[in-house]
Amino acid sequence: MYLALHHTHVTAVCLSLGLFTLRGLWMLAGSPRVHAPWTRWLPPLIDTVLLASAIGLTRVLGQYPFVNGWLSAKVLALVVYIGLGAVALRRGRTYRQRATAFAAALLTAGYIVGAALQHSPASWLARL
């Protein structure tokens, strides 16, 4: 069960981040593709699979947010990432706000991936 959940989770992470990056680049370029109908329904579908697999992994591994430090850091950073993503793709009033939020969201996503891989709230700094 663990391997199936893990592979599903990692695949959903890659799809979610890849699609967010693509949509952000389209937004920066002013492309009308950012408003394509599938960009409305596909991200929530992928993110639902991502969340379900994350919940499944916490159950299988017995590691829970606000109990394990690295997992708590991931969840809190995820809230920041979601907020920044909303500003970048929808709520930002100016191009500069959207571009800044997009860059910050990508940095936050990098932190989340590092925390997951290192099992440390220090993220990539844990390797040093």
DSSP string, 5-45: HHHHHHHHHHHHHHHHHHHHHHHHHT-GGGG-THHHHHHHH
Among left, alpha and beta (phi > 0; psi -120 to 50; other), residue 92 is: beta
One-letter amino acid for residue 111 of the chain: Y
Q: What is the pLDDT of residues 32-80, one digit of tens each?
A: 999 999 999 999 999 999 999 999 999 999 988 888 899 999 999 999 9
pLDDT over 80 (residue 128):
no
pLDDT in the model for residue 79: 96
Question: Which pTM was predicted?
Answer: 0.92
Res. 17: pLDDT tops 90: yes
Domain ranges of the chain: 2-127
Q: What is the pLDDT of residue 30?
A: 95
Residue 42 CB partners (closer than 8 Å, separation 6+): 19
